[in-house]
Amino acid sequence: FLPLSRATLSFLVIQGLCKKCIQIFMKFYNPAIIPGRSRGMSIGFPTINIESKEVEKMYQPGVYAARVRIGETQYIAAVHIGPRPTFHDTSTIEIHLIDTVITEQPTIIDELEICHSIREVRAFANTEELKNQISKDIAAVRDILSEL
């Protein structure tokens, strides 16, 4: 058994190369919720925007499969970390709770568990292309989290 550095474990988890590493290295975050621009809601994928220096340091920009706990309820989620090049906008961390209708923005996220990388951040030619990719991302999250 060889000891692995935090950076190596992080790389393996992000690349989805080591399910055992995910179990060993999985870290839970308790991020602060911040106001967003409601763009996700306007395209049919409402998000919760968060601020977390820990998440930004730990993960490369991209889309990730995650589990989120708000109160006693656990959700599966697609998490976007990084810039929003389609809208020429700044970096953010956005959480889309899958198969859940958000009627009121929560005041706190009790736990964010980032489980697996889905893809890198990229620009799309228009909102329709972005919406199609988000649908594919959500399908990938369901598949990945059903295996973990």
> In whole numbers, what is the pLDDT of the chain averaged over residues?
81
pLDDT of 127: 92
pLDDT of 123: 93
Residue that the structure tokens 């005041």 belong to: 107
Share of the chain above pLDDT 70, in %: 80
Average pLDDT for residues 94-121, to the nearest whole number?
88
Residue that the structure tokens 């959700």 belong to: 75
User: What secondary structure does DSSP assign to 69-105, as a single string?
Assistant: EETTEEEEEEEEEEEEGGGTEEEEEEEEETT---SS-
pLDDT of 24: 42
Q: Confidence class of residue 113 from pLDDT cuts 50, 70 and 90?
A: confident
**Spatial distance between the Cα atoms of 43 and 84, rounded to a whole number of angstroms:** 14
pLDDT of 8: 61
pLDDT of 101: 83
Structure tokens at 1: 């058994």
Q: Whole-prediction pTM value?
A: 0.79
Q: Give 89-101 pLDDT, tens digit per residue.
A: 888 889 999 999 8
Residue environment code for 100-125, b if the CB has 16+ CB neighbours within 10 A, otherwise e: eeeeeeeeebeebbbbbbbeebeeee
Structure tokens at 105: 């923005």
Residue 126's SS3 state is coil
Q: Confidence class of residue 108 from pLDDT cuts 50, 70 and 90?
A: confident
Structure tokens at 117: 């990388």
pLDDT of 119: 93
Closest to 6 measured CA to CA, from 31, 33, 24: 24
Q: Give 34-71 pLDDT, tens digit per residue.
A: 888 778 888 889 999 988 777 777 788 999 999 999 98
